[in-house]
């Protein structure tokens, strides 16, 4: 938990974090509004309302994720695989649609829990697919405890939000749905580590990108964690960057000063 708090307070631009929170709040408010309309609409039009809610929610999760990445300043050049980045958006929307459809299909605990599981899984899948799309020299590793915690946070808040929505408390549902998205994101940030090195990327392509003078990305992979024995050499943990268009530059192994990786 301390790593997560440190990640947010010391490694992020709070103005961009606030922007991500606003995007998330708008998406959650729009989603719960459409779900409320879907719940009272005729059977013929209900799928359209659910589809609209899934579109608002999935795209909101995706946008929140990448805007939040822009808040981190680590000085590590990154790029993203466009196919996987786009696929993460599609997964968020499609899986959310099925989850919301189950949620509204019938009253009862079974549909509530199943719908919650599907929607929370859509959020988790989007976030971790977005991370898988990241291209950076070196390797990215996750603390399994933070991965489990991030998914659990998403599940708990999503369940509470949908329970509130079923009881007619739409604003409460919106307020509870937002932490399901943001909580998962920052717990994931707190549990990731980037180890600089050659990794699996083609060094010649990286060197070519470096020589071409492309601008660095605005962030890295995860948040900093203390290294045992006070020796920070050769590894660092950096926060996730936004979906930039710059190519990769060569990353040389070097000393870490103040949890920053210098290329």
Q: Which of 171, 182, 158, 181 is nearest to 32 (CA)?
A: 171
**Burial class of residue 45 (count of CB atoms within 10 Å of its CB; 0-12, 13-18, 19+):** exposed
Alpha carbons 61 and 33: distance in angstroms, whole number: 16
Tell me the pLDDT tens digit for each residue of 92-117: 999 999 999 999 999 999 999 999 99
Residue in the block written with tokens 């990286």 = 206
What is the model's pLDDT at position 102?
Answer: 97
Tell me the pLDDT tens digit for each residue of 215-225: 333 334 555 44
Q: Which tokens belong to 40?
A: 């009272």
């Amino acid at each position: 938990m301390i790593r997560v708090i440190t990640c947010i307070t010391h490694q992020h631009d709070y103005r961009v974090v606030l922007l991500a929170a606003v995007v998330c709040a708008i998406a959650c408010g729009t989603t719960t509004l459409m779900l409320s309309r879907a719940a009272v609409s005729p059977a013929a039009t209900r799928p359209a309302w659910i589809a609209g809610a899934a579109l608002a929610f999935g795209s909101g999760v995706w946008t929140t994720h990448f805007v939040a990445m822009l808040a981190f300043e680590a000085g590590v050049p990154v790029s993203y695989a466009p196919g996987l980045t786009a696929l993460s958006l599609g997964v968020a929307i499609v899986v959310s649609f099925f989850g919301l459809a189950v949620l509204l299909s019938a009253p009862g605990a079974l549909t509530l829990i199943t719908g919650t599981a599907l929607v929370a899984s859509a959020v988790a899948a989007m976030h971790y697919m977005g991370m898988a799309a990241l291209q950076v020299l070196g390797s990215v590793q996750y603390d399994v405890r933070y991965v489990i915690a991030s998914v659990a946070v998403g599940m708990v808040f999503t369940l509470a939000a949908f329970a509130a929505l079923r009881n007619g408390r739409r604003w409460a549902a919106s307020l509870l749905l937002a932490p399901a998205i943001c909580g998962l994101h920052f717990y994931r940030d707190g549990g990731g580590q980037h180890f600089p090195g050659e990794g699996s990327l083609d060094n010649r392509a990286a060197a070519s990108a470096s020589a071409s003078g492309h601008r660095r990305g605005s962030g890295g992979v995860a948040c900093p964690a203390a290294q045992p024995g006070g020796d920070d050499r050769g590894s660092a943990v950096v926060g996730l960057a936004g979906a930039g268009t710059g190519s990769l530059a060569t990353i040389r192994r070097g000393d870490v000063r103040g949890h920053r990786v210098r290329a």
